[in-house]
Amino acid sequence: MSRKILVDQGGQRFTMEYEDLPATAEKAASSRWNVTLGFTAITTLPASSKETDSDAREQLIRWLDGHPGLHPTASDYLGGG
């Protein structure tokens, strides 16, 4: 089952989708959150199957607060500046 969380922050709605990554010869298995705004990929964040939705939301909000210029705003999609 796919795990998806919606996060409203700064007037925008971000989507977090949980993904399990399989082990390879070079890397152990891991999990991550793929974060998007609309159809735009914003970042990936480390994930754990044991964390709550609230924990994941808080992790994204901390990331957004620490990277204020790295995610698009609604005006970017509407031709504003």
Please compute the mean of the pLDDT values over residues 51-75 and round it to a whole number.
84
What long-range pairs does 29-36 form, CB within 8 A, spacing at least 24? 33/59, 33/60, 35/60, 35/63
Contact status, residue 37 vs residue 63, Cβ threshold 8 Å: no
pLDDT at 73 (0 to 100): 56
pLDDT at 49 (0 to 100): 83
pLDDT at 80 (0 to 100): 44
pLDDT at 79 (0 to 100): 46
3-state secondary structure of 41: strand
3-state secondary structure labels for all residues of 43-60:
EEEECCCCCCHHHHHHHH
Encode pLDDT of 34-62 as tens digits: 999 999 999 999 999 889 999 999 999 99
Encode pLDDT of 8-25 as tens digits: 998 899 999 999 988 888
Tokens linked to 68: 């204020």
